[in-house]
Amino acid sequence: MSLNPKLADWNGQRVWLIGASSGIGEATARRLMQRGARVALTSRNHEALTALADGHAYVAAADVTDRASLQAAFDAVRAEFGDIDVAIINAGTHQPVRAWELDAAVAEKLVQVNLVGAINATALLAPYLAQRGSGRIAITASVAGYGGLPTGLVYGATKAALINFAETLYLDLAPKGVAVHLINPGFVKTPLTDLNDFTMPALIGVDEAAREILAGIARGDFEIHFPKRFTRLLKILNLLPYRAYFPLVHRITNL
């Protein structure tokens, strides 16, 4: 049974997509526009957003780590559309980090973009949608948040925090009529995952990821995880005691 109301048709839905200029966000934006949604695109890269919109979407550039610019984008989207039906918070960055390479400045950037940025956007949306008593918030985390993995020293921690954040958000907002979706992709080929120097199992393209995200929201799923041939194995792996989990992770990743 779906934990959120189903969405029958994307046509005419007013969607604010944050983190839209590349990768999964860009592919999701294209698919939304193809399905007739009214789409507002946000990221720091105004030029990329304008090219992506091509006259078919509204551009509201902002930096998720800058609350003033994000507030301006939020106000502009509402003024343009009259309301927001679906917000997809997809902004994020990635940097592989091993313990012996840990740098506080790199770690702070990852936390600010991945975690604080998502909280900044949600702080605008959650009170607004709760007062209205309808709408949807979808937050992109990652299966890297399920458990510790080599090279994910800080990235994985931000995604684990987002998983907990989305779970708690659901507990608060679902009784008020607001749907919450948690998006946990596996490995998706993007400029960010191109930074990884290891073989990524079950690697998929951005178009498949976008299709999974929109289908999961339409079904009313709380957690939207994919590809399931990989994510289900990770879920099982994270049920194991640490004395089994740690050796298996080393063996599987060869790291």
The radius of gyration computed from the CA coordinates of the chain, to the nearest angstrom, equals: 18
At 72, list the tokens.
């301006």
Distance CA 207, CA 198 (A): 22
What long-range pairs does 101-108 form, CB within 8 A, spacing at least 24?
Answer: 102/153, 102/154, 106/154, 107/154
Do the Cβ atoms of 224 and 183 come closer than 8 Å?
yes
Distance CA 119, CA 57 (A): 25
Question: Which residue has tokens 């931000």?
Answer: 158
3-state helix, strand, coil in the chain (%, to 5): 50, 15, 35
Do the Cβ atoms of 58 and 73 come closer than 8 Å?
no
CA torsion angle for 119, 133, 58, 169 (degrees, to 10)?
20
Query: Active-site residue among 58, 155, 170, 242?
Result: 155
Q: Is 155 a catalytic residue?
A: yes
Distance CA 66, CA 230 (A): 35
Which residues have a catalytic role annotated?
155
